[in-house]
Amino acid sequence: MSTINLVPEGFRQKKEKTSKKLVIIPIVLIIITAIICAGLFFYEKTLSNKVSDLDNEIDQINEKISQELDTEVISFQKHLNNLKRMLNDHIYYSNVFDLIEKNTVPTVSFESFDGDVPSKKIQLKGKAISFSSLAKQVVAFREAEEISKVDFSSASIGVDGGIGFDLSLFLKQEMFEYKK
């Protein structure tokens, strides 16, 4: 028997070509997609390695900066401690001069000053216009709270008629320290 075919001959050939295209296009798209996915996978790995390398580099730089900063901080702390020690050990004669100025009788003047910090002793040479002025000066120093002891060692009448004298003042330790 003969086969009856109602589909025209040209249409059948077109359909076969079209169906081949329909099979090839998805395969090509799947291959392109697979290539793109593989490329993205390897690109992600490359980026991940670069990020890891940069993180390591940042960690190394931070460690180096941290070590340098630690060294600087330690050095600065040593300088601060030295400065503090120097300031604590510093002798402040300005307190002593203020004390002498505050307690000096107007008719008495001082010609020399010699300080010995370890013994807390101040030696003064001066002139008074009279023995009465000299006595008032000794009393003024003895009444000062900051002076623990006053030694009057000598007095003499000068050629100008004034009274030359030597005094030793023994001061309390806080007189040599900084007053805030």
The model's pLDDT over 84-120, given as tens digits with 9 standing for 90+, comes to: 887 777 777 788 888 899 999 999 999 999 988 888 8
The model's pLDDT over 150-169, given as tens digits with 9 standing for 90+, comes to: 998 888 888 888 899 999 99
Predicted pLDDT of residue 18: 62
Whole-model pTM: value is 0.53
Among candidates 48, 49, 146, which has minimal Cα distance to 99? Answer: 146
CATH class of 93-176: alpha beta
Cα(41)–Cα(25) distance, integer angstroms: 24
82 Cα distance to chain centroid: 14
Residue 133 · residue 174 · CB < 8 Å:
no
Angstrom CA distances, 45 to 41, 51, 58, stand at 6, 10, 20
The model's pLDDT over 19-77, given as tens digits with 9 standing for 90+, comes to: 666 778 888 889 999 999 989 989 999 999 999 999 999 988 888 888 888 888 888 89
Q: Which residue has the tokens 């392109």?
A: 32
Cα(100)–Cα(110) distance, integer angstroms: 10
What average pLDDT does this structure show over 133-154?
91
Cα(25)–Cα(108) distance, integer angstroms: 120
Among candidates 134, 142, 123, which has minimal Cα distance to 158? Answer: 134
In three-state secondary structure terms, 153 is strand
**Residue-wise over 77-110: b if at least 16 C-beta within 10 A, else e?**
eeeeeeeeeeeeeeeeeebbeebbeebbbeebee
Angstrom CA distances, 139 to 11, 95, 114, 156, 169, stand at 140, 20, 21, 19, 12
